[in-house]
A and B are shown apart, each in its own frame.
Chain A
Amino acid sequence: MVHTLFVARLTLNALGRDRVLHTLLGVSLVLLCLVPAFSLFSMRQVQELAVTLVLSCHALLLIFLAIFLGSSTLWRDLERRHTSLILGLPLSRSHYLLGRFFGVGLFLLLFSLCYALLAVIAVSVSATFYEADRPVIWMNLLAALGGDLLKAWLLAAVAFLFSTFSTSLFLPLFGTLAIYSAGSASQEVYEYLNSDFSSQISAGVRWLAEIFYWILPNLTLFDLKTQAVYSLPLDIPALIYPFIYGFVYTSLVLWGAEFFLSRRDLV
Chain B
Amino acid sequence: MMKRLFLLVCLIVFYGVITVPASRYLLDRPVALKLGYTPSSEAIKLVVGDQKLLLAESLVIKVLFYFGSLVEKSMNRVDIPPEYYGMFKTLKTAVMLDPYNQDAYYFAQAAFTWEVGHAEDVNKMLIYGMEYRDWDMLLPFFVGFNAAYFLKDYEMAAIYTRRAAEISGSDLLTNLTARYFYEANHDQMGIAFLKQREENTKDQGMKSLYRLRRESLEAAQALQRSLERFVEKFGHQPEKIDRLVEEGMISHLPDDPYGGEFYLDSHGKVRSTSNFSFTRGADAVQDGQ
**Which of A41, A52, A185, A192 has a CB less than 8 Å from the CB of B49?**
A185
User: CB of A79 within 8 A of chain B?
Assistant: no
Give the residues in chain A near B107, CB-CB below 8 Å.
Answer: 43
Interface size class of A (residues with CB under 8 A): 20 to 34
Stretch from A66-74, A204-212, A224-232 contacting the other chain: A224-232
Asked, given contacts A49-B57, A188-B45, A226-B100, whether A44 binds B50 with beta carbons under 8 Å apart, the answer is no
Q: Is the CB of B57 within 8 A of A52?
A: yes
Q: Is the CB of B103 within 8 A of A44?
A: yes
Q: Is the CB of A44 within 8 A of B45?
A: no
Asked, given contacts A180-B49, A188-B45, whether A48 binds B54 with beta carbons under 8 Å apart, the answer is no
Q: Is the CB of B135 within 8 A of A181?
A: no
Determine how close the nearest CB of chain A comes to the CB of B167; give it in whole angstroms. Answer: 11
Q: Is the CB of B136 within 8 A of A133?
A: yes
Asked, given contacts A41-B61, A44-B106, A134-B135, whether A184 binds B49 with beta carbons under 8 Å apart, the answer is yes
Q: Is the CB of B47 within 8 A of A185?
A: yes
On chain B, the number of residues with a Cβ less than 8 Å from chain A's Cβ atoms is 23
Separation of A55 and B166 alpha carbons in the complex (Å): 34
User: CB of A42 within 8 A of chain B?
Assistant: yes
User: CB of B64 within 8 A of chain A?
Assistant: yes
**Which of A42, A59, A229, A230 has a CB less than 8 Å from the CB of B51?**
A59
Give the residues in chain A near B106, CB-CB below 8 Å.
Answer: 43-44
Determine how close the nearest CB of chain A comes to the CB of B126; give it in whole angstroms. Answer: 14
Residue among A55, A220, A226 facing the most chain B CB atoms (10 A cut-off): A226
Give the residues in chain A near B136, CB-CB below 8 Å.
Answer: 133
Separation of A107 and B52 alpha carbons in the complex (Å): 27
User: CB of A94 within 8 A of chain B?
Assistant: no
Separation of A147 and B137 alpha carbons in the complex (Å): 31
Asked, given contacts A56-B54, A133-B135, A229-B53, whether A43 binds B46 with beta carbons under 8 Å apart, the answer is no
Which residues of A, 96-147, contact B by the 8 Å Cβ criterion?
133-134
Q: Is the CB of B50 within 8 A of A42?
A: no
Separation of A44 and B64 alpha carbons in the complex (Å): 12
User: CB of A219 within 8 A of chain B?
Assistant: yes
Q: Is the CB of A45 within 8 A of B101?
A: yes
User: CB of B102 within 8 A of chain A?
Assistant: yes
Give the residues in chain A near B48, CB-CB below 8 Å.
Answer: 184
Residue among A52, A225, A226 facing the most chain B CB atoms (10 A cut-off): A52
Separation of A41 and B59 alpha carbons in the complex (Å): 12
Residue among B48, B50, B136 facing the most chain A CB atoms (10 A cut-off): B50
Per-position 1/0 for B109-124, Cβ under 8 A of A: 0000000000000000
**Which of B46, B54, B103 has a CB less than 8 Å from the CB of A45?**
B103
Which residues of A, 14-31, contact B by the 8 Å Cβ criterion?
none
Separation of A60 and B53 alpha carbons in the complex (Å): 13
Interface residues in chain A, defined as those with a beta carbon under 8 Å from any beta carbon in chain B: 41-45, 48-49, 52-53, 55-56, 59-60, 133-134, 148, 180-181, 184-185, 188-189, 192, 219-220, 222-223, 225-226, 229-230, 232
List 14 interface pairs A-B (beta carbons < 8 Å), by A numbering: A41-B64, A42-B60, A44-B102, A45-B103, A55-B53, A56-B51, A148-B50, A185-B45, A185-B46, A188-B42, A188-B45, A192-B42, A226-B100, A229-B53
Q: Which 10 A-B pairs have the closest CB atoms?
A: A184-B49, A56-B54, A223-B50, A185-B46, A45-B102, A43-B103, A230-B100, A52-B53, A188-B45, A41-B61
Q: A48-B100, A56-B54, A181-B49 are in contact. List 8 more A-B contacts (CB 8 A).
A: A43-B106, A53-B54, A134-B135, A180-B49, A185-B45, A185-B46, A185-B49, A226-B98
